[in-house]
Amino acid sequence: MPLQIITSVEEMQNYSSVLRAKGKTIGFVPTMGYLHEGHAALIRHSCLEADITIVSVFVNPTQFGPNEDFSRYPRDFERDCHVAEEAGAAIMYAPTVEEMYPNGYSSMVLAGKESQVFDGVSRPGHFNGVVTVVAKLFNAVKPHIAVFGQKDYQQTLVIKRLVKDLDFDIRIIIAPTERELNGLARSSRNVYLSEHDRENASLIYKALTAAVDARQQGEKNAHSLQAIMQKILMTIPHVHIEYAQAVHADTLMETLDFSDDNSIVFLVAIRLGTTRLIDNFVWHP
């Protein structure tokens, strides 16, 4: 069946209500478009879990700061539809900014405690925009499950908190990060990188895996683990390191030394020129 495109909130709600009345389970993959293999993997994961998979494409202005890349964020709707359909999606939900935030719109959801560190500090207001648009998308699509990628690790914790605190009856699935051959996490923003920068950016993965190896070999001191990442990242020409930290995986809380039973998330955010890249690795005992 060819991909169906829906652009209005009302039509999306009505369509999902009919699916639910028929006993169909709805899977949902929210995106900002410019779909790549990472998104396709999320869609395929949803298709395994649900009868019908809906993909949304919406570049959300409320999660971009005044000096960020909203206006130049890559967009290619025709390509998005092709990738989504090839991966197994049945519906593309593509509302306009005016449909999502009509004249007079003034409400905002406040993100929980997981939003108050890392990207929540460097990108003030970002997560409030994220949880607001995700809540609106959930109310339009009415999914049973929603699939997010681990690459945006802090965002996954913020979304889980949203679902728990506001009683959304939705199961959240976190799918593994898809990577290019050199280890670079797949991201729509990778299109901004030159070939030289793309190769240098692969050192992010090298930094993460070096820290994970050190923990595997018994290193428990957070500063030592962070120093391993920073040393490798600093070899990238003209890099600006926003953070390279090892924290508790469930809470993002910092500690001096980890205990034997602590799960750890290694988090990195850097800038290469005007391009911001994030990645992570979760280590479990």
pLDDT tens-place string over residues 82-124:
999 999 999 999 999 999 999 999 999 999 999 999 999 999 9
| Number of C-beta neighbours around residue 174 at 10 A | 18
Q: Is the pLDDT of residue 69 over 80?
A: yes
Bridge partners, 282 (sequence order): 265
Q: In whole numbers, what is the pLDDT of the chain averaged over residues?
A: 97
Which residue has 């994220």 as its token pair?
130
Which residue has 């949203």 as its token pair?
162
Residues 6 or more apart whose Cβ sits within 8 Å of residue 217: none
Gyration radius of the chain's alpha carbons: 19
In 17-120, the DSSP E strands lie at: 26-31, 52-57, 91-93
> Do residues 42 and 175 touch, judged by C-beta distance below 8 A?
yes
Delineate the domains of the chain, giving CATH numbers in brackets. 4-175 (3.40.50.620), 188-283 (3.30.1300.10)
pLDDT of 115 reads 97
Q: Report percent pLDDT > 90 for the chain.
A: 96
> Do residues 207 and 200 touch, judged by C-beta distance below 8 A?
no
* Selected catalytic residue, list 39, 45, 126, 144: 39
pLDDT tens-place string over residues 173-231:
999 999 999 999 999 999 999 999 999 999 999 999 999 999 999 999 999 999 999 99
pLDDT of 1 reads 74
pLDDT of 91 reads 98
Which residue has 């939003």 as its token pair?
115
Q: Mean pLDDT throughout 41-59?
A: 98
Distance CA 186, CA 120 (A): 22
> Do residues 222 and 256 touch, judged by C-beta distance below 8 A?
yes
Of 231, 240, 250, the closest CA to residue 277 belongs to: 240
Q: Is the pLDDT of residue 233 over 80?
A: yes
Confidence of residue 275 (pLDDT cuts 50, 70, 90): very high
pLDDT of 42 reads 98
For residue 224, give the amino acid letter: S
Sheet of strand 91-93, all strands in order from the earlier edge strand to the far edge: 4-6, 91-93, 52-57, 26-31, 145-149, 171-175
Q: Mean pLDDT throughout 156-166?
A: 98
Q: How far is CA 247 from CA 1, 84, 234, 273, in A?
A: 45, 35, 20, 27
Active site residue 82: no
pLDDT of 283 reads 98
Q: H/E element holding 269?
A: strand 264-272
pLDDT of 67 reads 81
pTM of the model: 0.95
pLDDT of 181 reads 94
In 91-168, the DSSP E strands lie at: 91-93, 145-149
Backbone angles phi and psi of 14, in degrees to 5: -65, -40
Bridge partners, 117 (sequence order): none
